[in-house]
Chain A
Amino acid sequence: MNQRVLVLYAHPLHARSQVNAALREAIQTLPGVTLHDLYESYPEFVVDVAREQALLLEHEVVLLQFPLQWYSAPAMIKEWLDAVLEEGWAYGQRGDKLRGKAMMCAVSAGGASDVYGPDGVNRYTVEELLRPFELTARLCGMRYLRPFVTFAARRLDDAVIAVRAREYADMLAQIVSGELPAPFDSRSR
């Protein structure tokens, strides 16, 4: 059973990106994967709601890929959520268009893994920081998958990035082939 994946890519300065650009490169031609660059599509931040909703209907898995900025997603992702996930369509009474689909975040973080978590300077894990997305998925009746996190993104050398990109592509290929990971809940640790 094929799962089509919609990758919503949001990097305000894609031209300067290393990790995200490499990850994107690795998956953009995969069969069953649609790459959608939000900053490239909406430089004026005016999201085409009808187009985005139509895209969502054509896919079973929504993957938000972005660099972590100020402990959250770049502004474009928020704008996209605000505009596209309309009441009556994505949530609320009769808002069931996304029900049964899956959502996942693929993020890069500047800090190493040890700065995130109760013992780190950032106090919370990346999974915890991404809870708004977890709850968004829940409210829309979507299955939320464990985030794909790349730490210390600016200090990785090319070889490590290549490995990471391979892992990303393999994971996506597996999802496309129908093997969905188990649902993820950031409370159960």
Chain B
Amino acid sequence: MQGFLEQALIYLAAAVIAVPIAKRLGLGAVLGFLVAGIVIGPWGLRLIGEVETVLHFAEFGVVLLLFLVGLELNPGKLLAMRGPIFGAGSLQVVGTVVAVVAVGVSIGVPLTTALVAGMGFAMSSTAIALASLGERGLLNTDGGRLSFAVLLFQDLAVIPLMLVLALLQPGGGGSMDSLAILKALGIIALVIVGGRYLLRPVLRYIAGTGMREIFIAFALLLVIGIALAMHAVGLSMALGTFLAGVLLADSEYRHELELDIEPFKGLLLGLFFIAVGMSVDLGLFLRAPLLVIGLALAVVALKIVVLLGVARASRVRGADAGVFALYLSQVGEFAFVLFGAAAAQNVLPRESIDVLNAATAASMLTTPLLVFGFERWIAPRLGGEQPRTADTIDEHHPVIIAGFGRFGQVVTRLLHGLGISTTVVDHDPNQIELVRRFDYRAYYGDATRIDLLEAAGAARAKLLIVAVDDPDAARRIVTLAKEHFPTLAVIARARSRSDAFEFHGQGVAFVRETFRSSLEAGELALKQLGFGAYAARRAAEQFRRHDEALLARAAAPRGDIKKLIAVMQQGREDLSVVMASETLRGDATSDEGWHEQAYMHARRIDEGKGEGV
């Protein structure tokens, strides 16, 4: 038996090694965890034995994930989503079950087996889908939202599916009595009422202690408590905590809770993926590779077909439909639960269950690969470069603004205030959605691409403002613009000094993004220290001029570090001279300068002794 710390060491080491590699290869963190699990599991290096326990423990990551998802959704937003949840959700679950049963029976699988398989396969992995969607910033796209709605419905559907399973039990029927249902409803009511009226005062009391650790402890206690209560009456733990999250979404403690739970969620979710990887039965793979892999691929293909149908019915099209279908195409962790229950209740023989479980695990491995392939080869053919296709830009303005974050927005607002119209492009769908709600027009697209700049009217515009956050992207856009649209004036946002050097060298006007705000802080400091507002302003302005001149001088010998050091050293000396004269300036222009001696010269002229005017 290994100790707890040794196990932790193995998990952490596996994750730290595998995840960065997977990320680097563009395969996503989820696949990294899964592979790490396979490697350390009983079929790999055999470093870890009891997979079941770990899997069970790590399922708690999914519970925390849904609690956090709930925190993002207040009851109003949830209510607004009821259409897709129940419409698309039920369509997907029923559609998948029917399809699996139809195909299964037609190739000679017994009806019961096909039905149990169908119910399990209808589930998708909330953990994989939400984590991957979040990783790629797709949660707020049409495809992401539909995915979420369907996943939520699947969580709800577990309850009736378990009921069906009980009915399928040989010799038995309807073992889930009315008392159990009553208990389940009672717990849900308790969570809703308690969450609404009890939780806030308690949270206020806990927060009032001012001890962060106790708040974290309480947050975990809350989530674990609700999860266990739900589990006790046969409901999905994740569903219960999701509900609690929704009820707290409006509360003032939302951000605090998010912050506290987030790291636990991240680690446990990673552990969960590792555990799934470990539970992949490589022995079965080796004994019946065609059966397991064939079944997994067939199920994934079937699910994709059904999901595409659901997307169509929900009027989600193009790359969004692709995202939706692929991210939900794997069989989820609830399938293990359903299959486990089926085995326990003797609905299916052990061998069938083993095959189904292996296929489920194998299907989870396909998602990161499918997503990778989709982004590489399929999404571009759908007419866009990313999962979301670039918007068509149907207006042209004298000013193009690339990047509509904190920086671009201020510039745009200033220009709009003076009636100057702009074409705004951003590559973050969430950002676009957000600003559209405030009645700003912004287009989705990647401004580092020449065709998008062309579409935005770069050939006719007067000015391009590169306001993107990512310095690499900014440099690429500037270089592209200089190369293809030589008459287009460019103003670039320089993140660092070296970006500023670069833009200076290209002859592009640039703004050093934190420079002015740092100067402002310096100016405030001077005022705090007793300088007048005007004197402080002048000092800051003098410093700005000095520093910008120094930057221009330092830009030339950039490659030559010795020369650069010399320039910077000279710059420091110059600065002290500049600032000294700024402080002395007072003596020259204040009242002091205007004394009698100042008139000596004038007096000499008056007396005819001067050299004349």
The answer to whether the Cβ of A153 comes within 8 Å of any Cβ in the partner chain is yes
The answer to whether the Cβ of B590 comes within 8 Å of any Cβ in the partner chain is yes
Given the known interface contacts A15-B530, A15-B531, A19-B591, the answer about A110 and B586 at a Cβ–Cβ threshold of 8 Å is: no
A121–B601 Cα distance when bound, in Å, is 10
The answer to whether the Cβ of B4 comes within 8 Å of any Cβ in the partner chain is no
What are 17 A-B pairs with beta-carbon distances under 8 A?
A: A14-B532, A15-B530, A15-B532, A16-B592, A17-B591, A18-B591, A43-B533, A67-B594, A76-B534, A110-B595, A111-B594, A111-B595, A111-B596, A111-B599, A115-B599, A153-B594, A154-B592
A20–B603 Cα distance when bound, in Å, is 27
The answer to whether the Cβ of B561 comes within 8 Å of any Cβ in the partner chain is no
A155–B591 Cα distance when bound, in Å, is 10
Q: A residues within 8 A CB of B537?
A: 43-44
A112–B606 Cα distance when bound, in Å, is 18
A44–B535 Cα distance when bound, in Å, is 10
The answer to whether the Cβ of B598 comes within 8 Å of any Cβ in the partner chain is yes
Say how far A111's CB is from chain B's closest CB, in angstroms: 6
The answer to whether the Cβ of A40 comes within 8 Å of any Cβ in the partner chain is yes
A35–B121 Cα distance when bound, in Å, is 78
Q: Which of B530, B590, B598 contacts A13 (CB 8 A)?
A: B590
Q: Which 3 pairs across A and B sit closest by C-beta, in order of nearness?
A: A110-B594, A43-B537, A39-B534
Q: A residues within 8 A CB of B606?
A: 121
The answer to whether the Cβ of A141 comes within 8 Å of any Cβ in the partner chain is no
Chain B contact patch, size range: 20 to 34
A128-187 at interface with B (beta carbon < 8 Å):
152-155
Say how far B441's CB is from chain A's closest CB, in angstroms: 30
The answer to whether the Cβ of A122 comes within 8 Å of any Cβ in the partner chain is yes
Say how far A60's CB is from chain B's closest CB, in angstroms: 28
**Contacting pair B591 A154 (CB below 8 A):** yes
Residue on A nearest B592 in the bound complex, by CB:
A154
Say how far A43's CB is from chain B's closest CB, in angstroms: 4
A12–B532 Cα distance when bound, in Å, is 8
A154–B586 Cα distance when bound, in Å, is 13
Q: A residues within 8 A CB of B178?
A: none
The answer to whether the Cβ of A64 comes within 8 Å of any Cβ in the partner chain is no
1/0 contact string of A73-98 vs chain B (CB within 8 Å): 00010000000000000000000000
**Contacting pair B599 A13 (CB below 8 A):** no
**Contacting pair A16 B586 (CB below 8 A):** yes
The answer to whether the Cβ of A29 comes within 8 Å of any Cβ in the partner chain is no
**Contacting pair B590 A16 (CB below 8 A):** yes
Name A's B-contacting residues (CB within 8 A): 12-20, 39-41, 43-44, 67-69, 76, 108-112, 115, 121-122, 152-155
A155–B587 Cα distance when bound, in Å, is 14
Residue on A nearest B602 in the bound complex, by CB:
A121
Q: A residues within 8 A CB of B592?
A: 16, 110, 154
The answer to whether the Cβ of B477 comes within 8 Å of any Cβ in the partner chain is no
A76–B535 Cα distance when bound, in Å, is 13
1/0 contact string of B576-588 vs chain A (CB within 8 Å): 0000000001110
Q: B residues within 8 A CB of A108?
A: 591
Say how far A25's CB is from chain B's closest CB, in angstroms: 15
Q: B residues within 8 A CB of A13?
A: 532, 534-535, 585-586, 589-590
A20–B532 Cα distance when bound, in Å, is 14
Q: B residues within 8 A CB of A44?
A: 537
**Contacting pair B591 A40 (CB below 8 A):** no
Residue on A nearest B606 in the bound complex, by CB:
A121
Q: B residues within 8 A CB of A122?
A: 599, 602
Q: B residues within 8 A CB of A155?
A: 595
Q: Which of A12, A17, A110 contacts B593 (CB 8 A)?
A: A110
Residue on A nearest B605 in the bound complex, by CB:
A121
Given the known interface contacts A16-B586, A122-B599, the answer about A109 and B594 at a Cβ–Cβ threshold of 8 Å is: yes
Say how far A181's CB is from chain B's closest CB, in angstroms: 26
A122–B535 Cα distance when bound, in Å, is 30
Say how far B82's CB is from chain A's closest CB, in angstroms: 50
**Contacting pair A41 B533 (CB below 8 A):** yes
Q: A residues within 8 A CB of B536?
A: 43
Given the known interface contacts A13-B586, A13-B589, the answer about A110 and B533 at a Cβ–Cβ threshold of 8 Å is: no
Q: B residues within 8 A CB of A41?
A: 533
Scoring A41, A43, A153, A155 by chain B CB atoms within 10 A of each residue's CB, the highest score goes to A43
Q: Which of B590, B596, B598 contacts A17 (CB 8 A)?
A: B590
Q: A residues within 8 A CB of B589?
A: 12-13, 69
Q: A residues within 8 A CB of B535?
A: 12-13, 15
1/0 contact string of B521-542 vs chain A (CB within 8 Å): 0000000001111111110000
Given the known interface contacts A12-B589, A121-B602, the answer about A39 and B595 at a Cβ–Cβ threshold of 8 Å is: no
Given the known interface contacts A69-B589, A121-B606, A122-B599, the answer about A12 and B534 at a Cβ–Cβ threshold of 8 Å is: yes
A159–B598 Cα distance when bound, in Å, is 25
Say how far B545's CB is from chain A's closest CB, in angstroms: 15
A121–B532 Cα distance when bound, in Å, is 34
Given the known interface contacts A13-B532, A15-B531, A121-B606, the answer about A112 and B590 at a Cβ–Cβ threshold of 8 Å is: no
Q: B residues within 8 A CB of A67?
A: 590-591, 594
